[in-house]
Structure 1
Amino acid sequence: MECLATLDFVHKEQNLFITGSSSTGESYLTCALGHEACKRGFRTFYANAPKLLGALKVAKVKGTLETEFKKIERCQLLILDDLFLVPLDVKERPILLEIIEDRHERKSTIITSQYPSSNWCNKVGDPTIADAILDRIIHTAHAIELYGESMCKLRSKKN
């Protein structure tokens, strides 16, 4: 974590994915890294992935999708929290692919997921698109898998 906290991976335009069961701290760590990136002057965009993809589907219907893509593209660090919480639908797949493709080896992305990366292909749904997305995310990524009990459960035991 100390190495990641230097944000060297952002300078190197690499990705990071943090996986773990619900409430093991993946979102907390990601937000801490995003906060540090902001403090160091990196333009950072945080989004709950299912909400972002839903909003981008609406933008596509309205004809404003390219404008939204440009906002995301300008950021040096994109944080997609809770990606693959629900499987992608047929309209979300190409949107996610375009985001990942635009950033590949040019900008950094942090992804959190409750599912290990070995399950991501099933969550994308289409094997061809899944291969394209995962190829661009995983091969240049640092990976952290968190284990343990839910932080919420641990806090309730203390009370």
Structure 2
Amino acid sequence: MTFLSLTIQIEAGISKIANASPLLVKAIAVTTIGTGTYTAATGVSDMWEAGQDIGHGLSGSNRHSVNLIKDKVFKGNEEAYRTSQFAAATVSTAGTAYLAPIARGLQATNSGRGATAGVKEGAPKTNPIENIKYTDKVKAQMKQGDYHSFQKV
């Protein structure tokens, strides 16, 4: 199972359960912020360790580089550290995917313009491709359900 498919499955599960319950939305927001912060912290810790690795390599030193979270919190257990990073990133991604549409809806509602929030003034309000004139050949292909053919050159 890939990271993306796991994230999509978790997001779908959250959506089914949450159904926009205000208390649950707040809990998801807090969890998303917490796991996102942890993910960022482990990223900084990894970059710090990588900087030390580069410095030690350039100087020819055999010193051990320190990753504060991995070495202090996980007592050097690389597998547990990486698993926690993956889990936190997955939860924060799924939470963000769930909360983003809610936040956009609130933003639109709070702007006083409802569903048209973010639409530029003077922007066309119709579908620009709805009046396309198709050739007879294309019409015949569409009748047959063939939407993928191209003219032979």
Scaled to the shorter chain, the TM-score interval is: under 0.3
Structure showing the higher helix proportion among its residues: 2
Q: Comparing both chains, which one has the higher relative contact order based on Cα–Cα distances under 8 Å and sequence gaps of 6 or more?
A: 1
- TM-score, normalised with respect to structure 2: 0.24
Structure showing the higher strand proportion among its residues: 1
- TM-score, normalised with respect to structure 1: 0.23
